[in-house]
Amino acid sequence: MEYIPLAAEHGSVPSSNVNPRRLRGVITRNIRRIAKEKRISLNKLADFAGIDRSGLYQVLRHDVALTTDRLCRIADALEVEPWTLLKTTDAEGE
């Protein structure tokens, strides 16, 4: 079996120092901010996303992990691309 080196071993892929706690905070702030800008209550957001209200609040409190499925459903309900929820603001440091 031939060894195929990973791209990261050759420096072509930037290393990532993603902090999961910080990322969860970014996602939560973006969900709340966008919902507020669009004048959508969190209860309505849960309804639009097809997520039960307690499930949305658990995600926003970081009690449960946010699945990619839920991330996409929330993004659809907010009418934004999913990656928008992962983006930091200038104040948070891009």
Q: What is the DSSP string of 14-26?
A: ------HHHHHHH
Encode pLDDT of 17-42 as tens digits: 778 888 999 999 999 999 999 999 99
Q: What is the pTM of this model?
A: 0.76
Domains, the chain, ordered by start: 20-87 (1.10.260.40)
Q: Confidence band (pLDDT; 50, 70, 90) for 48?
A: very high
Q: Confidence band (pLDDT; 50, 70, 90) for 89?
A: confident
What average pLDDT does range 47-76 have in this prediction? 94
Query: Given this model, what pLDDT does residue 16 score?
Result: 63
User: The tokens 């200038």 sit on which residue?
Assistant: 90
Encode pLDDT of 63-86 as tens digits: 988 999 999 999 999 999 999 999
Spatial CA neighbour of 35 closest among 89, 27, 3, 66: 27
Res. 1: pLDDT tops 80: no
Can you tell me the distance from the alpha carbon of 83 to that of 80, in angstroms, rounded to the nearest whole number?
8
